[in-house]
Amino acid sequence: MKDVTVKDRNKLVLVGAGHSNLHLVKNAMLLQSHGFDITLISPTDLYYNGVAPGVLSNQYPTGFGRITAKCHLDKVKGKNYQKKVTRIDLKNKQVQLEDHKFIRFDYLSINTGGSVPTNQIPGSSTFSIPIRPIGSFWQLSEEIQRLRNNSPESISVTIIGGGAAGVEVAGNVHHLIKSFGIIPVISIITKGELILSQFSSSVSNKVSKLFRQRGINIITKSKVVEIREEEIVLKRNKEHPYEFCVLATGIIPNSIDSQGLLQTTENGELVVNSFLQCTDNPQVFATGDCSHFEAQPLWKSGYHAINQGPVLLKNIVAQSEGSQLYEYKPSKRILTALNLGSKAGLVIFGKYSHLGKLGFIIKDYIEKRYINSYRCKSKA
């Protein structure tokens, strides 16, 4: 590798502290050796979604899922702006921050994640708690803790959305309320015929049976048309009462204005090729929930953002050195592990699935290993 002078060094700007960008930060010393100066711009640290249900049920302490980039950046004197990027100026190769400051770049990696839309169901922005961003999700735990002090006989929580996130919330909020000696009244509302419809019917049936045994109510084939204070209005004017309403209806990308110079989908996802480059600019990369993998649709999951990280690292270096790029090749079989509360976990790999304590142990091991992998090693 040739020696890199200060003049020749590339400015690599990371927008968003998502999984892929954190992999770059973790390998900051490697990037530095290849001639990169690193700047991370993100309004918050990463709060790892994988442990959020466990934090909700007090399995993990508050703040357990927080992953900070500071210690890795400090090793290479990298810069960290806790700001939001409002605009990408490709013509001048700079990004604009919310305080109108401009940061120049040679290479850009966008990994801003996604959020739950609160403008699709009337009343949801006022009366529901979205599962993302995680900061608003902690509100549910705090409010249940406060309500507990009034010694109620029961606490009711309704989750809108029967996907993986909604099911994890249901299982863990049930455990939390029950641990206080209070009767949990938990409901899941989904417009689909089954919960966990992205998996097989046998997986859905296993979880449905477990939830029925716990007394969790599953309302299928029901579309929510409005959320009002203390009641959810379903199609055909059916009303469902609640104390807390959690919105888990899917993820939309946290998009950034690129002045129309980067191709996006109708949902605002940045379109990327198999090398994770934006199709309009090879110096701009995008990964995770804010991107659309052109070769094939990818399930919105931290799994892909995590696994795209090593490919992203190789390709940023390769692009700068004019060497061969690497394709991101999604695995045909994805390991999925869900925390269903009360020491029950669901593990799915291909056609195999297991529901029980072993699944809980596997889920716990995976999440702790991931978080520990980002801790800075202390000097001997």
Q: Tokens 């469902």 belong to which residue?
A: 240
Our measurement of the distance from residue 297's CA atom to the centroid of its chain's CA atoms, rounded to an integer in Å, reads: 17
Q: Quick one: pLDDT band at residue 137, thresholds 50, 70, 90?
A: confident
Tokens of 133: 């961003």
Query: Per-residue pLDDT averaged across 229-245, rounded?
Result: 94
Return the higher-pLDDT residue of 264 and 299.
Answer: 264
**Domains along the chain with CATH numbers:** 10-113+251-330 (3.50.50.60), 124-250 (3.50.50.60), 333-375 (no CATH)
Say what percent of the chain tops pLDDT 90.
84
Residue 237 CB: number of other CB atoms within 10 A? 7
The predicted pLDDT at position 333 comes to 83
Cβ(131)–Cβ(137) below 8 Å: yes
Separation between Cα atoms, residue 327 and residue 337, nearest integer Å: 26
Yes or no: say if 73 and 28 are a contact pair by the CB < 8 Å rule: yes
Cis peptide before 133 (omega within 30 of 0): yes
- Model pLDDT for residues 271-317, shown as the tens digit of each residue: 999 999 999 999 999 999 999 999 998 988 888 999 999 999 999 99
37-92 pLDDT, tens per residue?
Answer: 999 999 989 889 999 999 999 999 988 989 999 999 999 999 999 999 999 999 99
pLDDT band at residue 133 under the 50/70/90 scheme: confident
Query: What's the pLDDT band for 380 if we cut at 50, 70, 90?
Result: very low
**What's the whole-number average pLDDT of the chain?**
93
Any bridge partners for residue 158, and if so which? 187, 245
Contact, 47 vs 66, CB < 8 A?
A: yes
pLDDT value at 247 more than 90: yes
Please give the Cα distance from 241 to 258 (Å, whole number).
Answer: 43
More confident of the two residues 136 and 220: 220
